[in-house]
């Protein structure tokens, strides 16, 4: 019984010391941060493009009328 318990403790220590899965989590967090930044940037860009098209539309309408 003591031997099985010590084997279990050794396996748990090995799992806690293992760092191979952390790289994937870090990459996922960086990717999520980049996606969030792109989304915020696209919203600002869309507002600027909308304003530019409205200005062009207004200018063209004034020349046609």
Tell me the pLDDT tens digit for each residue of 6-64.
Answer: 887 888 777 677 666 667 788 889 999 999 999 988 988 998 999 999 999 999 999 88
Every domain of the chain and the residues it spans: 21-65
pLDDT above 80 (res 65) = no
- The alpha carbon of 32 is separated from its chain's Cα centroid by a whole number of angstroms, namely 1
- What pTM was computed for the model? 0.47
Tokens representing 42 are 């696209």
- The alpha carbon of 27 is separated from its chain's Cα centroid by a whole number of angstroms, namely 9
């Amino acid at each position: 019984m003591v031997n099985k318990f010590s084997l279990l403790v050794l396996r748990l220590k090995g799992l806690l010391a293992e760092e191979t899965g952390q790289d994937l989590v870090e990459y996922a967090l960086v990717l999520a941060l980049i996606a969030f930044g792109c989304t915020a940037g696209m919203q600002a860009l869309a507002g600027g493009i909308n304003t530019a098209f409205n200005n062009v539309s207004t200018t063209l309408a004034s020349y046609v009328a």
